[in-house]
Chains A and B, each alone.
Chain A
Amino acid sequence: MIKFDSKIPSGPLTEKWETYKTGLKLVSPANRKKLDVIVVGTGLAGASAASSLGELGYNVKVFCFQDTPRRAHSVAAQGGTNAAKNYKNDGDSVYRLFLDTIKGGDYRSREANVYRAAEVSNKVIDHYTALGVPFAHDYGGMLDTRSFGGVQVSRTFYAKGQTGQQCLLGSYSSLSRQVEKGTVTMYSRREMIDLVVIDGQARGIIARNLITGELERHSAHTVVLATGGYGTVFYLSTLALGSNPMAAWSAHKKGALFANPSFIQIHPTSVPVLNEYQSKLTLMSESLRNDGRVWVPKAKDDNRHPNEIPEEERDYYLERQYPAYGNLVPRDVGSRAAKERCDAGYGVGDTGLAVYLDFKDAINKQGKAAIKDKYGNLFEMYEKITGIIPYDEPMKIYPAGHYTMGGLWVDYNLMTTIPGLYAIGESNFSDHGANRLGANSLMQCSGDGYFILPYTIADYLADEIATPRIPTDTAEFDKAEKDVKERIDRLVNIKGSETATSFHRRLGKILWDYCGMIRNEEGLLKGSQLLKELEEEFYKELAIPGTGYELNQELEKALRVETFFEIGHLMIQDALNRKESCGAHFREESQTETGETLRIDEEYAYVAAWEYKGPDKKHIMHKEDLNFEFVELKQRSYK
């Protein structure tokens, strides 16, 4: 039986972290350099953790599969990062940020973790500013903020539509400084395939050198995963194509519980699918909904040009259904509404899987220049992809997979159920419940890496100072490497006729159709069956040219797709288990009279943490009950 304790400290919410922190053990500077830490991932979470651990003097090794750490997927975040600075004097506070996050997550996250994330958010902004991140400033020389994601205060710090890029380049620069100093060793173009556990503790990884194909052994006293999310499970998503859960999944198979795997956020505004070879759905920032109006024609299969459809024949369905919030309803609500209209036959475009996002009224009212000033780069991006100029006609948009709230289960220390293995950033599950608020992920990733992990990891490492460097010529490393080798050989030797990508595309479609925006028991069971059949085909028909021991991008993809099959099964199992609707998880069987999500708190106010039992065995679920000491549970309403 797996040990399972969230280690949430007692005491008042506002004092938990400060009190807890002072009770944590420390490692003296002289001992730090004797301690090795592996950090996998160089996104905001990994780069911030690796650089701050380097600054403290630990001996850090950091890994990423891109050619340089600066390209981690965090680079693509657009809108901004939240902090409770209350610079706008509009009533914001750490407590309000905490409350918005808990509510936004539809009461399926931990109070203590969320409060802490809000608490350290201000230090994140201070640090990035000092690192030279060019956040927007006003004429008085002070930082500017904007309101984002339907909250009532203005707490989002931003650098035009490239906040993720600017924050990541900031943390990449501090990481680079540590590499130059020699405290951090950078391993780019390496993919972690497996975790090595020795006597119950995480002690290293097996990584594949993506240039030579060699398998490498790396050991450490502790391992940190900062490997991001798995929204790419749907194949088409707003994520970078390489994003994948293999590292987290390998840890899961070695004993780390995986929490709420089916909680995936579908973002309502992405460029829709335009051709059958499409590889990517580009996000059109949420901020567009501040001025854009969403509509479909009132008549089914109306294929007139949008500009020719008169006002009275348009259905502004969000404004109609949600008069209070209108076009600014939360992401999950907006996504489902778009799907509902398209499924009912009102969708537009060649595929019928799109709705209009129209700026005509905003342009008439505010002028083209004002709209250009606000959204110029997004309009340009849209034009590059579609060839359509959104100043002249409405954008077409459709929901797309975007963010995984689910991830490795961690305790208050951010440690998984494998002692010595930590998970931070999007790879863990802890802060966003069943739905993430806009601009809260960058905040959490950076907070985890800069201001939480460095404290909690010391508490663990303090007991490791007498442990000598971990050798890699042990039976455990031998076994892990052998397993990886067999896994690679198995895939390479299938020698079928279908590419990994074509399997990924089909697998993604199954999960999108049956475990996507709207779920029900029948569909989930069907999806599970289809997935099983496709998986069998995968092991018969996969084609990988070349060998495992050279640069082989097809093998890289196949290993990831193999993981998507496994995680896909667990997503379905998790979605089947949770018979309530909450946040992004919409079970048709559990809705209000007006078709909104209906939580069942008496039965489901828990985190579903799944334990892996073996290749052909069913996962076992463990419950972590969510005790709400400080907030009162309410049903969300946007009507």
Chain B
Amino acid sequence: MNITLKIWRQKNANAKGRFVKYNLENVSPEMSFLEMLDFLNEQLIKKGDDPIAFDHDCREGICGACGMYINGRPHGPEKKTTTCELHLRSFEDGSTIVVEPWRSKAFPVIKDLMVDRTALDEIIRSGGYISVNAGSAPEANSIPVDKHSSDKAFDAAECIGCGACAAACKNSSAMLFVAAKVSQLALLPHGKPEAARRVQKMVKKMDDLGFGGCSNTYSCQIDCPKGIDVEFIALMNREFFKAKVCKSKAK
């Protein structure tokens, strides 16, 4: 099949970017989207041009490294699919595909389609953990975990930290990402002692880093490649409210 690409090219963080058009002939519908970019890059390099920079690693939808806007949607048109899992068979022969980096104040462009998502690490550092040192854990079965909570915690924990939720959101809110971690740990008995502290610190960090607030448009869930449910945002809001009440009572 033949396709036309319009790809955002930007030399570095400070340069002005622009779209550049590329015509690609004889690509196979079996190719993954990133293999198609590899193919284009091979051609660019052979011509002595600068190849397109993008992040990727596992190429099987689990590491969260890849991610780009494809035809106006984070990770492209398929539901619950990361960019690396997307294949050209999802596009029609002869189509034009527009490819851009994440657009979010908190994710500055590094080069071309590569962005800086350190902000997500910073949110986790602010409280996305259970404070237990190696060696001090009790026997694993000494604290029963009801199956429902454990399964639900798992659903939240599936987040791969790709940042699509914030990129999809018109407010650049990272609520879904934060809610997923807060919920995972709040649902498990081991995470409860720190739950109040955790949610407050993480939400504050998110605000400080320039992510916007949530106005319940739910575009995050639609574009989340792991289908993280917005119900976790509600759960986080409850945790946040609970923490506030406890704090003011303590005062």
- CB-CB under 8 A for A123 and B188, given A75-B58, A137-B145: no
Closest 4 CB pairs of A and B: A141-B144, A130-B137, A173-B129, A134-B154
- CB-CB under 8 A for A173 and B51, given A134-B184, A159-B154, A501-B38: no
Count of chain B residues with Cβ under 8 Å from any Cβ of A? 78
Which residues in window 109-159 of A have CB below 8 A to B? 123, 125-127, 129-132, 134-143, 159
Q: B5 CB to closest chain A CB, in angstroms? A: 15
- CB-CB under 8 A for A545 and B48, given A73-B58, A450-B134: yes
Docked-complex contact B59 and A241, CB < 8 angstroms: yes
Decide yes or no whether A294 CB sits under 8 A from chain B.
no
Question: Of A248-256, A259-267, A273-281, A586-594, which binds chain B?
Answer: A273-281
Docked-complex contact B57 and A71, CB < 8 angstroms: yes
Rounded to whole angstroms, the CA-CA distance of A131 and B64 in the bound complex is 21
Question: Of A96-104, A381-389, A475-483, A563-571, which binds chain B?
Answer: A381-389
Decide yes or no whether A458 CB sits under 8 A from chain B.
no
Q: Name the residue on A nearest B157 (C-beta).
A: A134
Q: Name the residue on B nearest A274 (C-beta).
A: B30
Majority secondary structure of chain B interface residues (helix, strand, loop or mixed): loop
For A69, the chain B residues whose CB sits under 8 A away are 121
Rounded to whole angstroms, the CA-CA distance of A52 and B132 in the bound complex is 10
- CB-CB under 8 A for A387 and B129, given A126-B139, A277-B28, A381-B61: no
Which residues in window 271-302 of A have CB below 8 A to B? 274-275, 277-280, 282-283
Docked-complex contact B57 and A66, CB < 8 angstroms: yes
Decide yes or no whether B197 CB sits under 8 A from chain A.
no
Q: B118 CB to closest chain A CB, in angstroms? A: 7
Rounded to whole angstroms, the CA-CA distance of A87 and B53 in the bound complex is 49
Q: Name the residue on A nearest B58 (C-beta).
A: A240
Question: Of A8-16, A19-27, A527-535, A546-554, which binds chain B?
Answer: A546-554
Q: A531 CB to closest chain B CB, in angstroms? A: 22
Docked-complex contact A55 and B134, CB < 8 angstroms: yes
For A135, the chain B residues whose CB sits under 8 A away are 150
Docked-complex contact B30 and A173, CB < 8 angstroms: no
Partner of A132, one of B64, B81, B184: B184
Q: What are 13 residue pairs bridging A and B, where the CB atoms are less than 8 Å apart in the complex? A: A71-B63, A76-B63, A126-B137, A132-B185, A134-B151, A162-B158, A165-B62, A174-B132, A381-B60, A501-B38, A545-B45, A545-B50, A545-B51
Decide yes or no whether A160 CB sits under 8 A from chain B.
yes
Question: Of B92-100, B109-117, B168-176, B232-240, which binds chain A?
Answer: B109-117
Other A-B pairs beyond A52-B135, A130-B138, A135-B150, 15, CB < 8 Å: A66-B57, A68-B118, A68-B161, A76-B63, A123-B135, A129-B143, A130-B136, A137-B151, A143-B140, A176-B121, A280-B60, A282-B59, A384-B87, A450-B134, A551-B53
**Which B residues form the contact surface with A (CB < 8 A)?**
12, 28, 30-32, 34-36, 38-39, 41-42, 44-46, 48-51, 53, 55-65, 81, 85, 87, 89, 110-111, 114, 116-118, 120-121, 124-126, 128-141, 143-147, 150-151, 153-154, 157-158, 160-161, 184-185, 188, 190-191
Docked-complex contact A127 and B46, CB < 8 angstroms: no
Rounded to whole angstroms, the CA-CA distance of A181 and B44 in the bound complex is 45
Rounded to whole angstroms, the CA-CA distance of A384 and B31 in the bound complex is 11
Which residues in window 370-415 of A have CB below 8 A to B? 381, 384-385, 387
Partner of B63, one of A66, A134, A141, A384: A66
Rounded to whole angstroms, the CA-CA distance of A159 and B157 in the bound complex is 10
Rounded to whole angstroms, the CA-CA distance of A87 and B142 in the bound complex is 12
Q: Name the residue on B nearest A271 (C-beta).
A: B60
Decide yes or no whether A67 CB sits under 8 A from chain B.
yes
Decide yes or no whether A5 CB sits under 8 A from chain B.
no
Q: B119 CB to closest chain A CB, in angstroms? A: 10
- CB-CB under 8 A for A76 and B60, given A55-B133, A143-B141, A180-B126: yes
Docked-complex contact B60 and A48, CB < 8 angstroms: no
Q: Name the residue on A nearest B85 (C-beta).
A: A384
Q: Name the residue on B nearest A136 (C-beta).
A: B150
For A242, the chain B residues whose CB sits under 8 A away are 57
For B35, the chain A residues whose CB sits under 8 A away are 275, 277-279
Docked-complex contact B65 and A71, CB < 8 angstroms: yes
Rounded to whole angstroms, the CA-CA distance of A384 and B50 in the bound complex is 31
Decide yes or no whether A211 CB sits under 8 A from chain B.
yes
Q: B183 CB to closest chain A CB, in angstroms? A: 11
Decide yes or no whether A208 CB sits under 8 A from chain B.
no
Docked-complex contact B147 and A141, CB < 8 angstroms: yes
Docked-complex contact B129 and A134, CB < 8 angstroms: no
Partner of B30, one of A70, A169, A275, A502: A275
Rounded to whole angstroms, the CA-CA distance of A39 and B1 in the bound complex is 47
Q: Name the residue on B nearest A160 (C-beta).
A: B154
Decide yes or no whether A93 CB sits under 8 A from chain B.
no
Rounded to whole angstroms, the CA-CA distance of A275 and B30 in the bound complex is 7
Decide yes or no whether A543 CB sits under 8 A from chain B.
yes
Docked-complex contact B130 and A173, CB < 8 angstroms: yes
Docked-complex contact B141 and A132, CB < 8 angstroms: no
Decide yes or no whether A497 CB sits under 8 A from chain B.
yes
Q: A570 CB to closest chain B CB, in angstroms? A: 26
Docked-complex contact B31 and A162, CB < 8 angstroms: no
Rounded to whole angstroms, the CA-CA distance of A545 and B118 in the bound complex is 28
Docked-complex contact B134 and A73, CB < 8 angstroms: no
Q: Name the residue on B nearest A181 (C-beta).
A: B125
Q: A121 CB to closest chain B CB, in angstroms? A: 11
Decide yes or no whether A95 CB sits under 8 A from chain B.
no
Docked-complex contact B46 and A499, CB < 8 angstroms: yes
For A85, the chain B residues whose CB sits under 8 A away are 140
Partner of B146, one of A141, A162, A278: A141
Docked-complex contact A280 and B137, CB < 8 angstroms: no
Docked-complex contact A451 and B134, CB < 8 angstroms: yes
**Per-residue interface assignment for chain A, residues 169 to 213, with 1 indicating a CB less than 8 Å from any chain B CB and 0 otherwise:** 100111011011000001010000000000000000000000100
Name the residue among B41, B64, B121, B129 with the largest chain A CB count within 10 angstroms.
B129
For B128, the chain A residues whose CB sits under 8 A away are 173, 176
For A55, the chain B residues whose CB sits under 8 A away are 133-134
Decide yes or no whether A523 CB sits under 8 A from chain B.
no
